[in-house]
Amino acid sequence: MKLNVLHLFPDLLDQYFDSGNIQCLKKRLEWRNIECEVSCIRRGDPLIDLSDTDIILMGGGADKEQLYVCRHLLGYKNELNEYIESGGSLLAVCGGYQLLGKYYKLHDETINGLDILDIYTEQGDGRLIGNVVLECDFLDEDHNKVVGFENHGGRTYIGDHTPFGKVLYGHGNADNSQYDGVIYKNLIGTYLHGPLLPKNPALCDFILTNALKRKYNKDIELDPIDDELESTANTYITKRFLTR
Ligand code: GLN
């Protein structure tokens, strides 16, 4: 078996090393003897046909970089939309997540989004920065606490979409929204930056399982991996922030 992973604009959207998520996807496949090929689209590169793509990652970045990426991706809108509607996996972090909506309204200009999700983002006063603990219902009970870090000026309003997780600590979508991100088909949008998947291996395996299921058209159970260190770190952080 083999999965093809596409990293969109690692040169522009990689705040807090979001590309660590690619390494995690790749490594957890290799440990199970499943091949993984990673390709990237960088500034100036032509966009590629998505028919062989199984997982896409879009990281976060500064407003200026987002503006460039979004202009570039507007021509890709239909292709990305079809990919999502046909169950393609996409992990979009912070700035990447904002771009999937209708628009991102800054104080002095508005960035038109890709309009893949019926959500919108507006720049608020001050930034929402800090550690986050979420509860994600779609993960099994022993692994449903997802930990991470957020830093964003935009506040995202998700309307009727299903949130990615309930905020137990931190901010998430907006100041008091109580929820973070969106989950729609196999698309996950979240404000949780940096090494989200290494910190939350159950989430990584959830993405891999869905991508394999779509590609091979059957249920696939991944071989277990010893995640004791990751689990200990996750439990430590969860306790630290939730028992104050
Ligand atoms: N520029 C966006 C904001 O501040 C996204 C930031 C990010 O990706 N960390 O809201």
* Ligand 1 atom showing the smallest separation from residue 59 Cα: 8
**What residues have CB less than 8 Å from 60, skipping those under 6 apart?**
13, 15, 16, 18, 93, 94, 95, 96, 97, 152, 193
To the question of pTM greater than 0.95 for the whole model, the response is yes
Give the pLDDT of residue 48: 87
Give the pLDDT of residue 15: 86
151 lines ligand 1 (CB under 6 A): yes
DSSP letter, residue 219:
-
Compute the distance from residue 153 Cα to the ligand 1 centre, in Å. Answer: 6
Portion of the chain with pLDDT greater than 90, in percent? 91
State yes or no: pLDDT of 18 exceeds 90.
Answer: no
Contact status, residue 33 vs residue 84, Cβ threshold 8 Å: no
Mean pLDDT score across all residues of the chain: 96
Return the bridge partners of 123, or none. Answer: 154
Give the pLDDT of residue 163: 98
101's tokens = 């909506």
103's tokens = 């628009």
State yes or no: pLDDT of 95 exceeds 90.
Answer: yes
Q: What is the pLDDT of residues 134-176, one digit of tens each?
A: 999 999 999 999 999 999 999 999 999 999 999 999 999 999 8
Contact status, residue 166 vs residue 135, Cβ threshold 8 Å: yes
